[in-house]
Structure 1
């Protein structure tokens, strides 16, 4: 008997345009934080203590619609003497740190906060370059109702990745992780249950290839996060080295690459993932290792009940090992901010427990919330959203990424060597590919240190 998590037609829907706004920079490795206008600012709140001072908020323009930032600002400004002034980041989101650093160096840094950075991937870089400031004291003295409940309400594993060297640097907007998703039609045509393990995925994909030839049997959203790193996490309790790097040459990593080589050779999954997102949204991919928000999004785009989201993939049925990769996106206060307190107050009200509208949208339109009180208020007891609770339990015990400056370096180099290793034209073993990637990473780290 299969387990379904049926969608509710009463839950808000998101358009394809809104979704693509939200994931527009994902394929560049920048952001998937949920979809649609889900982080709305509620009006069911008390006005903060008026202080006639502006709050200058630098935002990525591609996130303004995805997080309904304009609505949040409009609601805040209608009730507060501290007016939030929005300014779009100019240039690529990946260059945001350089934009802030250049403004600081020129003595022209006029912003109080920025939305958003990735935790823990870039926190160390932003802190060590002197771009952001800790939030602890600002949170402590905030006059926003229930301000003290915001950090206390963050899921503990998420809280760990929003901190650096014992200080809180980020107010998280979401929790993202990697899970398996699928469309029911090809699974039913092939007579298979939703898979969970590496072996089950391989068997299901092989049967789908025969029974539903119009579908791509299996795919992964990105390389290396979804097609390799998530498999490493699922296959070992120790996915990291003592140096804080992913254990690229360890047994789990080598097994994961061999698995992908075999899947590609058998034409059960594509060798690269340039079109993976579009194929999933079109309903062309049967099973996918993806950011778990894409499961419900597929239902909203392709139709109610056509797809589902399951648990993170694992190597052994009853042992999730290190769990699943997870990360969070959130807001920071910049160095030399003129009104850091006003900026933090805005964040605390935006994501706080008394903002019912934000909580409801975070729970029902995009997955997953970063706060326990959001789960308690809007998800617990809702069968449509049970999958979020199931995945959350894995995330609670998952090994977090370390906060260092090496994430994007590893990501870029590993992706290149994985793509070479799964190309049949390259007689490259998993051992050779991963050792070459590790050597290149070390050289890059040495150059960075120098």
Structure 2
């Protein structure tokens, strides 16, 4: 795809579904909040050299990348920003192709979900560590970035003892619901636990034709999240998720009961029905709240979320919730690694809060504490993101694994068997077999 020098761009390709999310300009706010020269320019003045970023088109649109060029070029006129666009699914392949031909086409890449995809990027030698740029003696202002990054978020972006990504925003699993159907069903308190959710779903079934409860991105948003909600440590001693543990059995049995009671579809309907306002309660990536607002035109009164994973027990979040950091990576073989690292620290630093608020508006949640402490984030509509980050800070991070996606696929296939009323497989049988096959997948990959 032809690279775009942002100063020459008139329009960016945008997926039709994301077009509906809308975008309000933030250029004026960016200019007002940027403190000129907060990153000291290196001396002597560096050679003029393009800064080539490979960016998923979703992030170009959602984060209004075109508003960044002006402030960036003022601070770093010798590193003109050139954007190479990819769809999110093609990001890895496009980076791999550049590495294979040795072109050094890209300096920075974003977003890379970490730790869920870290190992793949490392195994193919597509990214390099940030440590030299973030540690003492590295980039000016980097110390403030590191101080503002909570330890679990920092750990999510680490591998092999090094910082492999600079977090942009944090995604986590949370429970959300539409207010109107819950109120109509007489549900007066927000669901917190599995039991609360089942009772609310039962009330909705009796009072409306909506799908009472559903999930998107199973098994991450249901079985995995439920394991996290009931285990102090969701991993075995040899770093496998406790797929066949006691909490997993309780979780899959609960899901079976929901299907058999017609409170949840056996196969997830996901975002489609949620965006149409036809699903009342949803466990999913916490972006679902912002998506529901926009597609239903309901405003903040239309949906609610605490930003928290539903719990097994009311008094303890246990391991919290599965979360991952969407990160900027430094491309291995980059021709302008200094520019890429400086861009990341400049863009995500505490003097660019307006840009961080854009993340909070469309792609929750900003990764740094100083964002939530700023006056620009005082609006109550951001409160659920603060609560969600409190949950993340107390959560057990996912662990990097090359086979994570394959293991999820194995578990998902056995969950489908267990949730199919026509071909019922006992929960324990499904989980024991799923755990064995997940281990075999890891073993075959040498893990």
Q: TM-score range by the shorter chain?
A: 0.7 to 0.9
Paired residues for 1:346-365 under 5 Å: 346-365=343-362
Change (3 A) 1:55 1:88: same
Which of 9, 33, 36 is 1:46 aligned to?
A: 36
Q: What SS does structure 1 have at the residue aligned with 2:169?
A: coil
Contact 2:215 2:221 in 1 (8 A): yes
Q: 1:246 to 1:22 in 2, by over 3 A?
A: farther
> What's the TM-score, normalizing by structure 2?
0.87
Q: CA deviation at 1:104?
A: 2.6
Asked if 1:286 corresponds to 2:310, the answer is no
Which residue matches 2:340? 343
Cα distance in 2, alignment partners of residues 442 and 177 from structure 1: 25
Equivalenced residues, count:
419
Offset from partner CA, 1:40-95 (integer Å, 9 cap, x none): 79232425625311111112233321222233245423552211211123xx6445
SS of residue in 1 equivalent to 2:275: helix
**Residue of 438, 444, 448 corresponding to 2:445:** 448
> Which residue of structure 2 lines up, in the alignment, with residue 14 of structure 1?
none
Q: What's the CA shift for 1:143?
A: 4.9
For residues 245-324 of structure 1, the aligned pairs below 5 Å read 245-273=240-268, 275-302=269-296, 303-304=298-299, 305-310=301-306, 311-324=308-321
1:68 is the counterpart of 2:46: no
Change (3 A) 1:205 1:428: same
Q: Aligned Cα RMSD in Å?
A: 2.5
Classify 1:424/1:378 alpha carbon distance in 2 versus 1 (closer, same or farther; 3 Å).
farther
Structure 1 residues 293-302 or 377-386, which shifts more? 377-386
| More off after superposition, 172-181 vs 128-137 | 128-137
Per the alignment, residue 170 of structure 2 pairs with 175
Contact 1:150 1:352 in 2 (8 A): yes
**Compared with structure 1, are the counterparts of its residues 93 and 365 closer, same or farther at alpha carbon in structure 2 (3 Å cutoff)?**
closer
* Residue number in structure 1 paired with 2:8: none
Q: 1:235 aligns with which of 230, 233, 238?
A: 230
Cα 1:448–1:333 change in 2 (3 A) is same
The residue number in structure 1 matching 2:103 is: 108
Contact 1:39/1:67 (<8 A) preserved = no
Q: How does 1:184-199 map to 2 (within 5 A)?
A: 184-192=179-187, 193-199=189-195
* Unmatched segments (≥5 aa) in structure 2: 1-13
The answer to whether structure 1 residue 400 and structure 2 residue 404 are counterparts is no
In structure 1, the residue matched to 2:220 is 225
Q: Which residue of 2 aligns with 1:139?
A: 134
Residues 200-250 of structure 1: CA distance to partner in whole angstroms, max 9, x if unpaired? 1111101110012x2111111221011211111111112112222211111
TM normalised by structure 1 equals 0.86
Q: Counterpart of 1:162?
A: 157
Q: Is the 8 A contact 2:403 2:445 kept in 1?
A: no
For residues 107 and 359 of structure 1, what CA distance do their matches in structure 2 show? Answer: 34
Q: 1:403-414, aligned counterparts within 5 Å?
A: 403-414=400-411
1:191 match: secondary structure: coil
1:110·1:337 contact (CA, 8 Å) conserved in 2?
yes
- 1:29 is matched with none
Structure 1 counterpart of 2:418, from 412, 417, 421: 421
Cα separation, 1, equivalents of 2:216 and 2:97 = 34
